[in-house]
Each structure stands twice: as C-alpha cells, then as structure tokens.
Amino acid sequence: MLTIWGRRNSTNVQKVMWTVGELGLDHEHRNVGGSFGGTDTAEYRAMNPMGLVPTVRDGDIAIFESNAIVRYLAARYGAGALWPEDPAERARADQWMEWAQTVIGPPITAVFWGIARTPKAKQDMEALKPAIDKLGRLLAIADERLGEAAFLGGERLTFGDVPLGATAYRYFTLPIERPSLPNLERWYEALTGHEAYRTHVMIPFGASLEEWQALEAKLA
C-alpha cells in the first residue's frame, strides 16, 4: 500500500498528491506537519530525517524530498506517460522540474509567505515588489518554452510539469500584478482541466478546521 504523509496545503505535498491522483493510485493519506504535528516522532524521523513533509512509503521504501517522490511515482507507475521512456525527452522534463524548484521556488515562496501566510495588517507589498517583478521576468522564460510545445517536457503532461504546475495555482491566484504570459496562461488553463489538479492543487491556501474537515470528507 502506498502511504503519503503531509498536510494538503503544502505545495510540496500537492506535487505528490497531484501525481498520485494523475496516476490513479490507491493510497492512504495522513495529515501531518504544520498544526497537525506528527513529524517529530522517532517513527516519522526514521522515514524523513528532516522532519518535513511530504514523505511517502511504498512497500519497503520510504522516500522524502518531493521531487524525488514525484520522479519515483512517475517512473514506477507512469512509464511512457508521466515518465517519458526516451532519455532525451525525460531530460527535458527533468530540466524544467529543476528549474521550477531552484529558480522559481525562492521568489514564489517569498511572495506566497508575504501575502498568504502574513496577516493583512503586516503585509508589505512594496517590499515584495522586487520578487513579484522577478517572477514575471523568470516566468517569461517558461512562457517562451510553452510557445514551442503544449507542456514543458513536450506535447504531453509529464513529471516535469508538476513543480511549476503546483506553483502556478499560487501565482495566478495571489493578488499580485502579472505580465501577460499567454502561453503560460494557456498551459495553466490546460492543467485546471485535470481533475487531479483541481482536487489536490486548487485548494484554499490556509483553510479553517471546518474547511479541512469538509475537504477530507469530500476526498474520503
């Protein structure tokens, strides 16, 4: 049985849950991390020495680091689909996965925390402006790529779309100024057509306990 640990409003958990949903895998999900706690136990640390989320166990193997988990799931259960068989096609997907994590990760995290995780009275939009502008400039690079192909890896959805895709919901939903990026917008629209994306990524940033319970009940 596949088990996933991690609170659903973490973008790193969302990458994994979206992949699991996209692949239609039977699984058990456990809410840990953040206000749920549960990441400090010896049992959890044995699987994830960082004490962070997500963590996955599949049979004998426990894995941490969301991108490694997404690659594992895609390779094991999505060969020929989410996981391109051709090494060159796979490398292209991998390249965009790394790019999203290392290049887009820092500015989107700063902007997300500065808005969605900061009380309105304490938000400083002026201080966030450089990161918001930087995001627009950097995402123009993905926009250019998406002018050549339907998805980042090529003509179909692959694991390479997952990290930027999970972030795209935040980027397009936060109340920030965005340059016109028609190819990125078209790609994002295509992602929103995927049920697994809507279910696991397009969820409230910070839900109340009641909202969480309703969401869990819907997914049960």
Ligand X SMILES: N[C@@H](CCC(=O)N[C@@H](CS)C(=O)NCC(=O)O)C(=O)O
Residues lying near ligand X in the complex (CB under 6 A): 7, 10-12, 33-34, 39, 52-54, 65-67
Q: Which helix (H) or strand (E) holds 44?
A: helix 42-47
d(CA 1, CA 28): 8
Closest approach, Cβ 33 to ligand X, in A, equals 3
Decide: 64 and 47 in contact? Cβ < 8 Å.
yes
Helix (H, G, I), strand (E, B) or coil at 64: strand
Closest approach, Cβ 190 to ligand X, in A, equals 24
Of 146 and 152, the one with the shorter C-beta distance to ligand X is 152
What lies within 8 Å, CB to CB, of 61 at 6+ separation is 72
Of 44 and 187, the one with the shorter C-beta distance to ligand X is 44
Closest approach, Cβ 45 to ligand X, in A, equals 13
**Integer angstrom CA distances of residue 110 from 34, 88, 100, 129:** 18, 33, 14, 11
Of 29 and 181, the one with the shorter C-beta distance to ligand X is 29
Of 53 and 128, the one with the shorter C-beta distance to ligand X is 53
Closest approach, Cβ 135 to ligand X, in A, equals 18
Closest approach, Cβ 67 to ligand X, in A, equals 6
Of 65 and 185, the one with the shorter C-beta distance to ligand X is 65
Of 97 and 181, the one with the shorter C-beta distance to ligand X is 97
Helix (H, G, I), strand (E, B) or coil at 58: strand
Strand partners, 27: 2
d(CA 176, CA 166): 17
Please state the separation of Cα 159 from the chain's center in Å: 11
What length does the chain have? 220
Closest approach, Cβ 140 to ligand X, in A, equals 25
Q: Which of 82, 77, 80, 186 is nearest to 142 (CA)?
A: 186
